[in-house]
Amino acid sequence: MASNSLPLEEASPSYLAIRSAREALIDSGPLLALFNSADNWHARVLAWLQTNEQVRLVTTWPVLTEVCALLARRIHNHAALDFLSWVEQGGVVVDTPDNWSLAKVVEISQRFADLPLDLADASIAETAARRSIVYVVSIDKDFDIYRDTRGKYLTNLLIAD
């Protein structure tokens, strides 16, 4: 990638954010696009993943559930099974807290009650707070809305300007 040869002071802010990201949460949109070659985001997500192999991707069970349901409905059950096999082979890390904090997800959902309820997004926001992850990979701009209790929001690495 040509950007790697730029002096640090000439690199763009989004490039620096991606280079400094060690771990990022991944939302359902990019995962759906990755397993659907007809999706408008497919090529961009695939290119981002290939360029940013050093970023450890983490997701949640609600995201997995959403992706499987949508792949099965939009494409075929085989697409959902391919996705689950990819996850099982280490494509992403699935966050599995000892005592899943549904109470925190409910609290986040209540804090943003004026938005349509999205369990997957709320689970990502909860996981980010608990694991101190500040990056997300998403095709949605929802994470410019969801903020933690300190008012900070996740930096979206996929659509960073």
* pLDDT tens track for 117-155: 678 888 888 888 888 898 999 998 766 666 655 667 788
Q: For residue 90, is pLDDT > 80?
A: yes
Confidence (pLDDT) at 129: 85
Q: pLDDT above 90 covers what percent of the chain?
A: 48
Chain segment 2-42, per-residue pLDDT in tens: 333 333 333 344 444 455 668 999 999 999 999 999 999 99
Domain limits of the chain? 15-156
- Greater pLDDT, 44 or 152: 44
Mean pLDDT (the chain, rounded): 80
pLDDT at 13: 43
CB 136 within 8 A of CB 143: yes
Q: Does domain 15-156 have CATH number 3.40.50.1010?
A: yes
Residue 75 pLDDT: 94
pLDDT: is 14 or 88 the higher one?
88
Asked if residues 124 and 63 have their Cβ atoms less than 8 Å apart, the reply is yes
Range 44-68 average pLDDT: 95
Residue 4, pLDDT score? 33
Buried b or exposed e, range 21-56, using 16+ CB within 10 angstroms: beebbbbbbbbbbbbbeebebbeebeebbeebeebe
In this prediction, residue 104 has a pLDDT band, given cuts at 50, 70 and 90, of confident
